[in-house]
């Protein structure tokens, strides 16, 4: 199996100039659209069957498929070929979310919680933004297990 590189923010996204900072959130003229295109290019270069990257255990793969499917239904990525090493912040990033009523990813996260009948702590998803996708899946499995013990 060829090792896939994790998705990476373009340098100008992580270290923007003052003018780029000024236009963040204005997708038609800001750097959001260009960053989205760069990330789409990275994602599009991946094979469609990336499950072997998640195949370390059957339960993790099963939870990944469900969560990834929910995110795919709400996201605007060209495909859902995410790997465990991808930053979760990128997986859930919505380049067009500069409008207050554009809460697609929030809807996806709520759908995931409802699907598993789990209510994470209020800051759970925010804390996940600093983790990899694989770490988030593992944290969510821990939440599922804790909820099952509480029943």
Q: Express each pLDDT in 12-36 by its tens digit.
A: 666 666 666 666 666 555 667 788 8
pLDDT band of residue 42 (cuts 50, 70, 90) is: very high
Please report the pLDDT score of residue 148 as a whole number: 85
CA distance 151 to 146: 9
Look up residue 80 and give its two tokens.
């859902």
pLDDT computed for residue 101 by the predictor: 47
Higher pLDDT, 102 or 36: 36
**Token pair for 88:** 């979760």
CB atoms within 10 A of CB 144: 15
């Amino acid at each position: 199996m060829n090792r896939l590189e994790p998705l990476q923010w373009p340098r100008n996204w992580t270290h923007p100039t003052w003018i780029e900072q000024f236009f963040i959130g204005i997708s038609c003229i800001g750097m959001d659209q260009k960053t989205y295109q760069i990330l789409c290019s990275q994602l599009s270069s991946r094979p469609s069957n990336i499950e072997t990257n998640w195949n370390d255990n059957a339960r993790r793969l099963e939870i990944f498929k469900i969560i990834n499917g929910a995110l795919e239904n709400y996201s605007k990525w060209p495909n859902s070929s995410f790997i465990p090493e991808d930053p979760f912040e990128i997986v859930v990033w919505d380049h067009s979310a500069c409008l207050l009523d554009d809460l697609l990813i929030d809807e996806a996260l709520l759908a995931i919680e409802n699907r598993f009948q789990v209510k994470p702590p209020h800051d759970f998803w925010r804390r996940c933004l600093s983790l990899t996708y694989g770490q988030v899946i593992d944290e969510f499995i821990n939440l599922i297990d804790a909820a099952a013990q509480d029943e």
